């Protein structure tokens, strides 16, 4: 599992980055879930196996840090995800999201 430093307080978002040559897919999970737990079976589907698949655990979920002094808003999640996809140099990618991941995905797509 890889990690990405989200902010100046060194909070870490953890994620899986599965190889593939087709358009990358960013998986954004919902509330009470985690990409590391909920998406591995989905990401292994034959139709997706040729895509680069990035399964994140949002801050506060799964294996990512759970800081007490963090604003867990849709906008805050989208802000660090925007920086994350920029740092990964993802100019074009697909977003797969459900539940709380949906509004985060919309906010991210609007950036």
Average pLDDT value over all residues in the chain:
95
Query: Per-residue pLDDT tens for 70-109?
Result: 889 999 999 999 999 999 999 999 999 999 999 999 999 9
Which CATH number do you get for residue 34? 3.40.50.1820
Q: Looking at the whole model, is its pTM more than 0.85?
A: yes
Instruction: Report the relative pairing of strands 51-57 and 22-28 from DSSP bridges.
Output: parallel
Residue 91: which domain range? 2-109
pLDDT over threshold 90, residue 69? no
The domain tally of the chain equals 1
């Amino acid at each position: 599992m890889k990690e990405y430093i989200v902010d100046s307080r060194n909070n870490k978002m953890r994620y899986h980055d599965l190889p593939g040559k087709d358009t990358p897919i960013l998986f954004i999970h919902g509330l009470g879930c985690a990409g590391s737990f909920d998406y591995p079976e989905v990401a292994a589907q034959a139709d997706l196996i040729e895509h680069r698949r990035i399964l994140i655990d949002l801050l506060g979920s799964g294996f990512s840090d759970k800081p007490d002094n963090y604003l867990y808003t849709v906008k805050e999640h989208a802000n660090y995800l925007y920086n994350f996809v920029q740092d990964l140099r993802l100019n074009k990618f697909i977003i797969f999201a459900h539940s709380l991941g949906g509004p985060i995905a919309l906010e991210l797509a609007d950036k």
